[in-house]
Amino acid sequence: MKDITSLRGALIVSCQAFEGEPLFGHMAAMAAAVLNGGAKGIRTNGKDDVAAIRAITDVPIIGIQKTTVAGRTVITPDFSQARELVEAGADIIALDATQIREQVCQGKYPTAAELIAQIHAELGCLVMADISTVEEGVAAVEAGADLVATTLAGYTPYTTLDEGPDEQLVRELTRRIQVPVVAEGKINTPAAARKALACGAYAVVVGSAITRPHLVTRGFVDALTEAETC
């Protein structure tokens, strides 16, 4: 399994773009840019982007495969997806370990616990559990997750989060579990990232605020539209 001590206290950047977006197919260039800026790890979606990024760096790569299940986006629900990501060069597989995931995937895909066990047994790599509550994090660790990330806080029907990090969630997880807690989700400023570490996070993942310029631009445009006269 990959040594992840280089990620302690570090920034991991989520490099993702989707079909129809201008940067789709250019995540290796994006990854190179953020690595030049000091990022110590990359999170990316799909085997093609994992392979392209692995070709330019040896930093830890967190691989995911976003999948639509019953109208909801689920992160890496199937073992075959995990295998493809590892074969492409991923060191860590992130998967959805939320309560809502179990509901929508029931009968279609293995449970998160079954998937974690199979990944460990057959692929021998680390598993990051993306969760939205303390209870989900505790359950994920009991199921064998090597890391727990707050990725889905505010993205499940039973959680709300306007801005990240979810300080209370990070603090409580670090108190309750013995594996690294990664702060991720709606972390949009350097101050917020620093706050996540202060709350006990092992590492911080930032995505849209760095790698999705159309969203950053929209924020500026909206602010100018609403600007008051000085």
Q: What is the pLDDT of residue 127?
A: 98
Q: What is the pLDDT of residue 139?
A: 98
Average pLDDT value for the chain:
95
Strands (E), 83-135: 92-96, 126-130
Cβ contacts of residue 180 below 8 Å, gap of 6+?
Answer: 4, 7, 8, 146, 147, 148, 202, 203
- Candidates 215, 222, 224; CA nearest to 186 is 215
Domains of the chain: 5-225 (3.20.20.70)
Mean pLDDT for 146-161 is 96
Question: Is residue 132 predicted with pLDDT exceeding 90?
Answer: yes
Q: What is the pLDDT of residue 2?
A: 77
Which spans in 27-78 are helix H?
27-36, 47-54
Question: Is residue 227 predicted with pLDDT exceeding 90?
Answer: no
Question: Is residue 150 predicted with pLDDT exceeding 90?
Answer: yes
Residue 213, both tokens: 């310029």
Mean pLDDT for 2-20 is 94
Global pTM value:
0.95
DSSP 6: G
**Model pLDDT for residues 31-81, shown as the tens digit of each residue:** 999 999 999 999 999 999 999 999 999 999 999 999 999 999 999 999 999
pLDDT band at 111 (very low <50, low <70, confident <90, very high): very high
Residue 76 near residue 85 (C-beta atoms within 8 A)? yes
Round to whole Å and give the CA distance between 145 and 224.
44
Q: Which residue has the tokens 């995911």?
A: 64
